Structure 1
Amino acid sequence: MAVVVIVGCGAMGSVYAGLMTDAGHAVHVVCRRGPHVEAIAARGLRVTGHSGDRTVVPAGAVRDAADVVLDRPADLVVVATKAYDVAVAARSCAHLVGPDTVVQTIQNGLGSPEVAAAELDPGRIAVGVVGGFGASLPEPGVAHHNGMEMVRFGPWDGLPAAQLEASAGIWRSSGFSVALYTDLGRMVWEKLVMNAAFSGPTCLTGLTIGGVLEDPDAWAVARACAEEAVAVATASGVTLDVGDPVEHVRRLGGAIPHARPSMLLDALARHRCEIDAINGAVAREGARLGVPTPVNDTVTRLVRARERTWLRPGAQPPGCDPA
């Protein structure tokens, strides 16, 4: 049995926590959403969808990692917050990290490992990307997911291979198929191409992934976002290994047609979006490398403008949500 702390137990983090708890690991849940934590503490955590239907009781559920108390350092700490919360999350879980702890950062987009490494020992950090889950929180204490296509990890800065493998073993014992990478650029950009295609476009249109694939105008934008991301990755010296990248995006998206990417869910909930770490990151890297990214840049600016309608102090939520 491993001691695991999931910092950022939203939709994706709840799927991790539920399956790991079900496998017999001592999982501590950290989530800032009060109703979700309260429901887990009162009734347990229910995970439904692709992996089945189970209700489990984690070892603990708190709103701040600083409140997690362990008898020994954790074997695995998963930082599954939004990209903009990584610094605070990493700082809050420093007391849980020992000489053999693996800290996995799992965020969309670019930049999270660097942020975590400024707060924790870089030699403890593994970079993670996941995809094809289509996870959501239909109600407090309940997580649903449509698939579990991709779980990948690689060492950030000196993490021993044996410890990386041990952390992957925790995931595998919980029903996840895990691949380990040494080429972090390839690992991260293969996921970012998918994120760029669907995150901003679904946020702006309100369509599911399947809806974007079926709508010729929405797909034209999503495809252009993906193609620009591929061009930036190539200019960065990254070699993608997915065959035709656009068909790869279509295949992965087609496997979860009813899924709403997290950026769309954030917009519907009037939360801050991760646009700057995804489509915005493609645009920034493109500008740095001299690669034109007009579609990603436009999508980023439009999402920021839309986001400001509910993040501006005193702003009232718009009168209707996208369908």
Structure 2
Amino acid sequence: MKIIIAGAGAMGSRFGLMLHQAGNEVTLVDGWQDHVKAIKENGLKANFNGEEVTAHLAIEWQQELSSLKTETELVVLFTKAMQLDQMLQDIQPVLSENTKVLCLLNGIGHEDIIASYVPEQNIFIGNTMWTAGIEGPGRVKLFGEGSVELQNFAKGQEEAAIELAKILSQAGLNAKYSDNILYSIYRKACVNGTMNGLCTILDTNMAGFGATKFADEMVTKIVNEFAEIAAQEEVFLDVEEVIAHIETCFDPELIGLHYPSMYQDLIKHNRLTEIDYINGAVSRKGKKYHVPTPYCDFLTQLIHSKEEILHAQ
């Protein structure tokens, strides 16, 4: 299958590498010029569960796609949430009326932006529990196991969604079709809404945060705010199950030693974060629905304050 990974950071590189290894024709697209240059010259280098791997994938700078001649069958969106609109503008030259677009971004509500650029019948939304880290231009660290859930955005595209899940699973990405993806997206957003912001503010990995005596209380408060907002949209989370799921992230034998993507962005790479599309989205929806969200409000303010202090770009 001819696939473009739009946003070739840590997660995009993981999916691109695994789809490439499964025999698909993969092109990475990214806006980080040093990253693009490194992969063009030396291939994508990955520590893949302890094994050093180099994959020579095609990669293009997203602002120079007009010369890319390819009949893209699938675009997987992995750009940062705040960069989504620009990426969708830049990839227009490679989209056809038959190109399927799968959004696996963290956060809530991305389908509204995508629908401005892509016919609804071509939009598929999902989430992933895979992890990845970027160690520098052209180099990533991939470890652990994960999964993907996805669903068609428009009715009548269920078979197409099932086929996409099959293609991802053939690459070892453990994908499955969901008939209630909004539940899964909110459930994943709870993981991001706790682990990302809190680990970033506290300057620790997930195991370190989980070892603190206040971890359970903070996680519970934030998850309850997400659940109250989700209920306003007729998505009813099993709060106890979600909290138990989040707390498995504390285990250093699983993924507890992982530093979440927001930490990597802000602390390691001095980049602006996706907080407005995670806890910030809950804060905005709280105002819309007249539901108090004090923990999400405060955590959003803390992350933005840290961005200012660090002069993140």
TM over 0.5: yes
Aligned residue number for residue 169 of structure 1: 166
* Cα contact 1:9–1:29 (8 A) shared by 2: yes
1:156-305 → structure 2 map (5 Å cutoff): 156-158=153-155, 160-240=157-237, 244-254=241-251, 255-268=254-267, 269-305=269-305
Q: What is the rounded CA distance, in whole Å, between the counterparts of 2:126 and 2:50 in structure 1?
A: 20
Q: For the structure 1 residues 40 and 68, does the alpha-carbon distance in structure 2 shift closer, same or farther, using more than 3 Å as the test?
A: farther
Provide closer, same or farther for how the CA distance between residues 129 and 65 of structure 1 changes in structure 2, counting only shifts above 3 A: farther
**Which residue identity is paired with 2:96?**
G
> CA separation in 2, counterparts of 1:251 and 1:278?
20
Query: Partner letter of residue 291 of structure 1?
Result: V
Aligned partners of 2:130 and 2:223: how far apart in 1? 16
Secondary structure at the aligned position of 2:214 is classed as helix
Q: How many matched pairs?
A: 310
Instruction: Measure how far apart 1:72 and its partner are.
Output: 4.4
Q: Once structures 1 and 2 are overlaid, which stretch shifts more, 188-197 or 235-244?
A: 235-244
Name the stretch that deviates more: 268-277 or 184-193. 184-193
Secondary structure of the 1:78 match is strand
1:285–1:170 Cα change, 3 Å: same
Whether the 8 Å CA contact 1:100–1:163 is kept in 2: the answer is no
Q: For the structure 1 residues 88 and 115, does the alpha-carbon distance in structure 2 shift closer, same or farther, using more than 3 Å as the test?
A: same
Aligned equivalent of 2:74: 76
Note the alpha carbon deviations across 1:140-190, whole angstroms, 9 max, x for none.
Answer: 222112323231111112462232222222211111101212223212111
Give, in whole Å, the separation in 1 of the partners of 2:23 and 2:63: 21
Is the contact between residue 47 and residue 143 of structure 1 (CA under 8 Å) also seen in structure 2? yes
Alpha-carbon contact 1:102-1:164 (below 8 Å) kept: no
SS of 1:55 mapped into structure 2 = strand
Conserved? CA contact 1:91–1:120, under 8 Å: no
Do the aligned partners of residues 270 and 108 (structure 1) sit closer, same or farther apart at CA in structure 2, a change above 3 Å counting? same
What does 1:24-173 correspond to in 2, within 5 Å? 24-50=23-49, 53-58=52-57, 60-64=58-62, 66-67=64-65, 71-133=69-131, 135-158=132-155, 160-173=157-170
Return the offset for 1:30.
Answer: 0.9
In structure 2, relative to structure 1, the CA distance for the partners of 1:64 and 1:312 (3 Å cut) is: closer
The 3 A distance-change label for structure 1 pair 51 and 66 is farther
Q: Taking structure 1 as reference, are residues 312 and 179 closer, same or farther at Cα in structure 2, changes over 3 Å only?
A: closer
Where 1:127 maps in the other structure, the secondary structure is strand
CA contact (8 A) 1:110 1:278 kept: yes
Which ranges of structure 1 fall in alignment gaps of 5 or more residues? 314-323
Q: Describe the SS at the equivalent of 1:9.
A: coil
Gap change, CA 1:249 and 1:118, over 3 Å in 2:
same
Name the SS for the 2:114 alignment partner.
helix
Identity of aligned residues (%): 25
Tell me, in whole angstroms, the C-alpha distance in 2 between the residues paired with 1:62 and 1:101.
Answer: 18
Q: What's 2:11 paired with?
A: 12
Q: What SS does the aligned partner of 1:244 have?
A: helix
For the 8 Å contact 1:102–1:167, the answer to whether it is kept is no
Q: Could you list the per-position Cα deviations for residues 20-72 of structure 1 after superposition, in whole angstroms to 9, with x for gaps in the alignment?
A: 111111110111122221221112112323485432111x2111165265554
- 1:268-298 Cα deviation digits (max 9, x unpaired): 1111111110111122222322332111111
User: What's the C-alpha RMSD, in Å, of the aligned pairs?
Assistant: 2.2
**Cα distance in 2 for residues equivalent to 1:199 and 1:252:** 12
Q: Once the 2 structures are TM-superposed, how far is the Cα of residue 218 of structure 1 from its aligned partner?
A: 4.5
Superposed CA offset, 1:217-238 (max 9, x none): 3553233212221232233321
Confirm or deny: 8 A CA contact 2:224 2:239 kept in the other structure: no
* Structure 1 residue 243 displacement after superposition: 5.8
Post-superposition offset of 1:16: 0.6
Q: AA paired with 2:222?
A: C
1:201-222 superposed Cα distances (whole Å, 9 cap, x missing partner): 1111111011111112355323
